Amino acid sequence: MKPTQKAAGAAANYVDERTGAAKWLKKNLTKVFPDHWSFMLGEIALYSFIILLLTGTFLTFWFDPSQREVIYNGSYLPLNGLHMSAAYDSTLRLSFDVRGGLLMRQIHHWSALIFMSAIVAHLFRVFFTGAFRKPREFNWLIGVGLLTFGIVEGFLGYSLPDDLLSGTGIRIAEAILQAIPVVGSYLSFFAFGGAFPGTAFIPRIFIVHVLLLPGLFLALITIHLMLVWYQKHTQYPGPGRTEKNVVGYPLMPVYMAKAGGFFFVVFGVTAFLGAVASINPIWLVGPYTPGQISAGSQPDWYMGWLDGLVRAAPPLETHAFGHTISWNILIPGLILPGILFTGMALYPFIESWFTGDKREHHLLDRPRNAPNRTALGVTSIVFILITIVNGGNDIIATHFHLTINGIMWFTRVGLFVIPPIAFVVTKRVCLSLQRSDRDLVLHGRETGRLVMMPNGEMLEVHEPLSDAKKWTLTQHQRPEALAAPLPASATVGLKGKLRARMNRAHATQIPAPTLTDLKELGEGHH
């Protein structure tokens, strides 16, 4: 035995005698993970979080979370001699007077953007493939929580440097607090330790940004991953893949190398962005003061939809009995996002309520095979995309020679008109794709080769699909694949009728071809 092997054996023995970990490790080293690119989206988010922790810790070594007023005399000359908060001053210093400081700041910010987009892309994957179904509802809820806290965490980070842009963002957040009925002005004063902007807010959000929320993330991510581990990963349908098994590569060594390597890839790509593309150049934006503003003041993209909704809101306020309620803030800023996120969190339970489906699902749906769900997802994405466009309407207007008023009206009307159209179109596209799958199974693949029959007729040669492919395209055909017929007792009353209606809508699909169909077709031909 080589000395290294001997040492490793001794170490393993030492640990196992104290923890009994050998059994667990033996089992889990061979744990199988299915391989698909879309399963890496969540990993991108996870690794971005680690990058955020590393770079964020670096930044705290120099960042001074204080709104104490100082006079800048650092190496960025165009700001020399100006009054500013210590937070802004220290951000300038760590950008210009610390080697690699600006790089770390940029990696941190890019990583935050990628973190959020990876979470959203991961959410799309989970939604469109039906991976949220039993038994994975808890993980869906945790995911929605992570998305929500991610938005808050990102916004706080964007606010910390106390530049003109972030101050404007805080001003708007303050206005939302202030608009809450009955307690709004009190909440604002408590949050800011008095009048806006005050000197308390940045120290407070700093500790929330670097301790409270990251701690919460760690806890939630841990549970999220433990559940993935324990419940085993879902897999896409295909030959040999069933509800009862999981097919893939073992943790040791393949997945360790792939997932471990992928962490470095995520770090590398984020570092590349941090190296070549400037993000949030706060030294150009200037220090915050409430009397100044820049054209094109926007939040980061994950808040852009919220800003777009607020922009599109109608000018509604209620003035009665000496009180004011700002619907123009409450509806787009709190009520609508609240409904959207609650609806998103509850969706697995809603779907299982109207489908009556209480079975476990480990095989993923191909999105086309659940047309109703896919259409709903696309509808939501289209809705959010319209609001994001409106959130950047000033930049879009100047770069594409449009008018902000035009984009705003497009949004106001489009938010009601386009999502329903998207729903109908998506559902039809899904059904068409199902039909084309059916044709493919029954008639084979078009080869593009033409042959002339003895009677002079020209025919294109169709090549039958492989058995594996046929199985992949038809495996979802089980009698109650999408929605179980509801018992008559469950469809009475308004709620029952709604349930029955949604059940029918969800059950819409093209019958997948069977071997019998294929045989009958064959007999017809001969």
Residue 40 or 144 having the CB closest to another protein: 40
What is the sign, positive or negative, of the torsion defined by CA atoms of 286, 290, 296, 297?
Answer: positive
Residue closer to another protein, measured from CB, 30 or 57: 30
Among 378, 386, 377, which residue's Cα sits nearest to residue 308? 386
Considering beta carbons, is residue 80 or 342 the nearer one to another protein? 80
Nearest distance in Å: CB 352, another protein? 16
User: Closest by alpha carbon to 310, among 180, 173, 417?
Assistant: 173
Parallel/antiparallel/unpaired status of strands 83-85 and 69-71: antiparallel
Shortest Cβ distance from residue 110 to another protein (Å)?
A: 6
Distance from chain centroid for Cα 271: 22
d(CA 334, CA 337): 6
Backbone φ and ψ of 287, nearest 5°: -70, 160
CB half-sphere exposure, 270, CA atoms < 13 A:
30
In whole angstroms, what is the distance from residue 377 CA to residue 387 CA? 16
CB of 215 to another protein, least distance (A): 17
CA separation for the pair 67, 95 (Å, rounded):
18
Alpha-carbon Rg for the chain, nearest whole angstrom, is 28
What span, in angstroms and rounded, lies between the C-alpha atoms of 393 and 340? 22
Q: How far is the CB of 121 from another protein (least distance, A)?
A: 6
Q: Please report where in the chains the tokens 């962490």 appear, as a residue.
A: 263
Distances 379 to 108, 343, 416, 431 between C-alpha atoms, Å: 32, 14, 11, 16
Distance CA 522, CA 501 (A): 38
Per-residue burial over 279-291, b if 16 or more Cβ lie within 10 Å, else e, is bbebbebbbbeee
Least Å distance, CB 308 to another protein, is: 10
Which of 64, 63, 97, 66 lies closest to 80, judged by CA? Answer: 97
- Region of 286 please: left (phi>0), alpha (psi -120 to 50) or beta: left
Question: Which of 150, 499 has the CB closer to another protein?
Answer: 150
Closest among 113, 120, 65 to 280, alpha carbons compared: 113
- Both tokens assigned to 510: 């093209």
Q: Which residue, 16 or 35, is less far from another protein as judged by CB?
A: 35
Shortest distance (Å) from residue 378 CB to another protein? 17
Whole-number minimum distance, CB 278 to another protein, in Å? 4
Between 213 and 375, name the residue whose CB sits nearer to another protein: 213
Minimum CB separation of residue 348 from another protein in Å reads 16
Residue closer to another protein, measured from CB, 257 or 461: 257
231/491 with CB nearer another protein: 231
Length of the chain equals 526
Nearer to another protein, 178 or 508 (CB): 178
CB of 212 to another protein, least distance (A): 14
Q: Which one, 192 or 423, has the nearer CB to another protein? A: 192
Pick between residue 38 and residue 491 the one whose CB is nearest to another protein. 38
